[in-house]
Amino acid sequence: MASISTLPIPVRFADPFAAEPHVPECVVGERRSYRTVWISDIHLGTRGCNAALLIDFFDHVDCETLYLVGDIIDGWRLKKRHFWPPEHNDVVWRVLKRAKRGTRVVYVPGNHDEMVKPFDGFDFGGVEIRREAVHETADGRKLLVVHGDEFDAVMLAHRWLAFVGDAAYTALMKANVVVNAIRSRMGLPYWSLSLVAKHKVKNAVQFIGRYEEVVAHAARSRGVDGVVCGHIHSAEMRAIDGVDYYNDGDWVEGCTALVEHADGRMEIVRWAEEVAARSAPAPLEQPASARAA
């Protein structure tokens, strides 16, 4: 059994109340409550991680159960280069704080945080580590919860090709960071260059469609009603041959989460869009004389 000290994570599973976070919890606007929230592909430890948006999400959203559906920490990048700004600690702090206050937190590791997989069945700081989970919705449906890398033929058959693809993707994400730094200085909201590029490339679109079908087929063979996954950074919810397919997206490109309402209704929340709408200036009200004209 691997030791927790072998994990390339510059964060300790410590008491979340031991110290104040770098960014104080501050809520502007309404808090929302959901029965369940799924998030994945945060990629803490990389420059592409939109930690500030995720912190804002946590500061506005409550839930009974929180699923962390893999690639929460990017072990691949951390092995090559140390990058861990205070905001990444703040994300971990908020997760541990929720677990401390009674939220059930389930961590299903992916391929970038595969170093956590040997700890299946362990509980760290109130966070349950599971290779996979089955979630029952309020309306009685059973959903398989997996990261999704196990269905990716590239990851299974040609691991070295996955690393080559990861290098190209990392270069695109660096460009994404530069573009959004410029947009931020101009007072413009977050915009994903990489997400636009992905949806413009025919092969990428075909891969996503095929991937979704493979995942849905695997869920059907397991006898469940649906599946929740991440991995491909493409938020989606649709029925595929009688199976409910849900992908919660990511916090590098789309900044999305999958949520379950109290009645079992599912929804994809696009947080970058919500923040942009919240910060947009209110339209100026016309004088009565102008309206009359």
pLDDT tens, 156-202? 444 444 544 555 556 656 666 666 666 666 666 665 655 555 555 44
Q: Is residue 16 part of a domain?
A: no
φ, ψ dihedrals at 156, nearest 5°: -80, -45
* Per-residue model confidence (pLDDT) at position 221: 95
* Per-residue model confidence (pLDDT) at position 142: 99
Q: Is residue 173 part of a domain?
A: yes
CATH (domain of 64): 3.60.21.10
Q: Is residue 176 part of a domain?
A: yes
Q: What is the pLDDT along the chain (293 residues), one digit of tens a residue?
A: 444 444 444 444 444 444 545 545 555 568 999 999 999 999 999 999 999 999 999 999 999 999 999 999 999 989 988 999 999 999 999 999 999 999 999 999 999 999 999 999 999 989 999 999 999 999 999 999 999 998 876 434 444 445 445 555 566 566 666 666 666 666 666 656 555 555 554 455 567 778 899 999 999 999 999 999 999 999 999 999 999 999 999 999 899 999 999 999 999 999 999 998 887 666 666 655 555 55
CB burial readout 245-270, b (16+ within 10 A) else e: bbbbbbbbbbbbbbbbeeeeebebbb
Prediction pTM value: 0.77
Q: Is residue 12 part of a domain?
A: no
Roughly what angle, to the nearest 10 degrees, separates helices 51-58 and 271-279? 80
Roughly what angle, to the nearest 10 degrees, separates helices 51-58 and 86-100? 20
Q: Is residue 292 part of a domain?
A: no
Q: Report the alpha-carbon distance of residue 257 to residue 13 in Å, rounded.
A: 24
Q: What range does the domain containing 269 cover?
A: 31-279
Q: Is residue 109 part of a domain?
A: yes
What residues have CB less than 8 Å from 16, skipping those under 6 apart? 93, 96, 97, 99, 100, 125
Q: Report the alpha-carbon distance of residue 234 to residue 198 in Å, rounded.
A: 9
* Per-residue model confidence (pLDDT) at position 1: 45
Total domain count, the chain:
1
Q: Is residue 243 part of a domain?
A: yes
Q: Report the alpha-carbon distance of residue 258 to residue 273 in Å, rounded.
A: 15
